[in-house]
Chain A
Amino acid sequence: MPDIGFLAPYDFSPLTILSFALVLAGYGFALLRMAPDQRPGSVRIVAFVVGVLLCYGVMQTRFDYYSQYMFFVHRGQHLILHHLGPFLIALSNPLPIFRFWHEKMSPTLRSWLRPVGWVYRILQQPVIAAVLFVGLIYFWLWPPIHFDAMLSRQLYWTMNWSMLLDGLLFWWLMFDPRSPVLTSALGYGKRILILAAVAIPQMILGAWIVFSRGMVYDVYEVCGRAWPMAPETDQLLGGLLTWIPPAMMSVIGILLILRRAMHEDGRIVKPSRLAGENL
C-alpha cells in the first residue's frame, strides 16, 4: 500500500496551503472564463501546474521533514523553490492569466496595488535582480544565518518563501514572453548576461561546500539527521546540488533565450510610430 502519510505536511502552514490553493484556483478560473484564443495550450498549462505542485510538494509534504534534517535534501528543496519550480512557471507564460485578472480588477483595487507595482519594478532592475538572486542564496547559506534559520520555525518559513518569491521574480524576468523590441521587457543580451553572471557565484559556493574539509553546516549534526548518514557525504551531496544543477539551469535558460532571439531575429520590426507608447 502506498504511504499516503508522505503527502501530509510535516509542518502545517495554513498560509502556504491557502496561497497555493488561491494560485491554482485563480489559474483554473481564468482558464475557464478567458477567450479561447487567449487560452494557453496544454503543454503550458501542464508546465505551470507541475511547477506549482513541485513547490507545494517540497513545502507541505513529508519532503519538508527531510529538508529540515538533511543538508542535501534541503539543497534539493531550494533547487526546486528557487530554480526548477519558478523556471517552469515562468516558462509556461502565465501572462494571459495576469491580463485576465488585471481586467477584472476594480480601479480602486488597482490603485491599492500600485505600490506593489513600484516594488516589482525596482526588484526587476537587472542588477538588483541578479544581486538579489545570488545574494539570497549566499545569505541563507552563510553558516551562522543558516544555523539560525534551521533552528527557528519563523526564520525557516521566511527563508523558503523568500527563495520561492525571488525565484519567481528572477525567472519571470528571464522568460518574460514580451518582445524587447516592442515593449520595455529586458533585452535578450542582458538576460543571457545575467544568467551567465549568476551561474558563476553559485558554482563557486557549491564548489567551496564540496571541497570544504570540515563541517560547514553543523546544524544537521546538532539537531540529528533524518537517517544515519555520514556528515561528509551529506555535505558533499548538498554542495554538488548547489553547484551543478543551478549552473545547468542557467545554461538551459541561455539556450532557450538564444533560441527565441534567433527565432525573432529580423522578424519583428519596431513600428516607429508605436515606439513612444511602448517604451
Chain B
Amino acid sequence: MTKRLLPLILTVSVLALTGCFGNDEQWHGKDISGLMPELEFELVGAGGQTVTPEDSAGDIRLLYFGFTSCPDVCPTTLTDLRKAVNQLPADYRDDITTLFVSVDPQRDTPERLGSYASFFGDHVVGLTAAEPELRELTKRYRTTFGYDEPDADGNYNVSHSSAVYVFDRSGNARLLLRPGLTTQQVSEDLAQLLSEA
C-alpha cells in the first residue's frame, strides 16, 4: 500500500512546489513579488543631503545601479526608461521616480551625479554612498559590483547589475526589468502597475 502511495505523494509535492512559482498577472518583466525585500536605503543625494524612500513615497520607484562613466549600458538603460515613461499618459508620468544609484563613489561626486541624472529627466534622482553602504544595499537586492584595474589614464570599468528593479507605490519589490525589453513593453508594465489601486 505504502509503495503505491509513494508516487502519488511525490507527484503532489512536486506540483505543490511548482505551484508556488505560478503567477496570475501577466508582465513583460520578471515578477519578483515576494522574492525580494521592500525598498529601503539611506543614500546621499546630488545636494549632499540624505535621501530615503520616504522622499519618493507613493511613487513607483525604478532602482538602477550604475556609474556615470559607464560607456553604453547605463545611458542606454536610462534613455529607454525615459522613453517608456514618456509613453505613459501625462497624469502618470510624475508618479514615477527613477533612482540611479552610482556604485562608483570614487569618481561620482554628488554634483557630477546630479547633472548626469537631470540629463535623463526631472524624475531621475542620482544617489550614492560610501562603498560599504553600497555593498549592503546591493546585497539586499542580491546583486553586486566590481572594479577593473585602472588603465594608464586612471580609467576603469565597473561591473554592475544590468536590470532595473521596480517597486510599487507601497515600496514592495514587484518587477525586474531585464535588458532586452522594448520601451513599449516596459511602458505597458509600468501602466499596469500604476493602475493598481
**Which residues of A are at the interface with B, using a C-beta cutoff of 8 A?**
10-11, 65, 68-69, 122, 125, 128, 131, 139, 144-145, 147-148, 150-153, 155-156, 218, 221-228
Task: Tell whether B32 is near chain A: CB-to-CB under 8 Å.
Answer: yes
By size class, the interface of chain B is 20 to 34
Q: Are B146 and A226 in contact (CB under 8 A)?
A: yes
Q: Are A128 and B159 in contact (CB under 8 A)?
A: no
Task: Tell whether B24 is near chain A: CB-to-CB under 8 Å.
Answer: no
Q: A155: which B residues are within 8 A, CB to CB? A: 35
Which residue in chain A gives the minimum CB-CB distance to B145? A224
Which residue in chain A gives the minimum CB-CB distance to B173? A151
Q: Are B21 and A145 in contact (CB under 8 A)?
A: yes
Q: Are B142 and A148 in contact (CB under 8 A)?
A: no
How far does the alpha carbon of A226 sit from the alpha carbon of B65 in the complex, in Å? Answer: 15
Q: Are A228 and B148 in contact (CB under 8 A)?
A: yes
Partner of A226, one of B30, B34, B35, B144: B144
Q: Are A221 and B162 in contact (CB under 8 A)?
A: yes
Q: B159: which A residues are within 8 A, CB to CB? A: 224-225, 227-228
Task: Tell whether B161 is near chain A: CB-to-CB under 8 Å.
Answer: yes
Q: A122: which B residues are within 8 A, CB to CB? A: 2, 6
Q: Using A151-B32, A151-B36 as known contacts, say yes or no to A223 and B21 having CB atoms under 8 A apart.
A: no
How far does the alpha carbon of A114 sit from the alpha carbon of B139 in the complex, in Å? Answer: 41
Q: From residue 125 to 169 of chain B, which have CB atoms closer than 8 A to chain A?
A: 138-139, 142-146, 148, 157, 159-163
Which residue in chain B gives the minimum CB-CB distance to A131? B10
Q: B10: which A residues are within 8 A, CB to CB? A: 128, 131
- B49-74 CB mask vs A (1 if < 8 Å, else 0) is 00000000000000001000000000
Q: A148: which B residues are within 8 A, CB to CB? A: 21, 35
Q: Are A227 and B146 in contact (CB under 8 A)?
A: yes
How far does the alpha carbon of A145 sit from the alpha carbon of B35 in the complex, in Å? Answer: 12
How far does the alpha carbon of A11 sit from the alpha carbon of B142 in the complex, in Å? Answer: 11
Partner of B162, one of A125, A139, A145, A224: A224
Q: B139: which A residues are within 8 A, CB to CB? A: 10-11
Q: Are B144 and A223 in contact (CB under 8 A)?
A: yes
Q: Are A222 and B162 in contact (CB under 8 A)?
A: yes
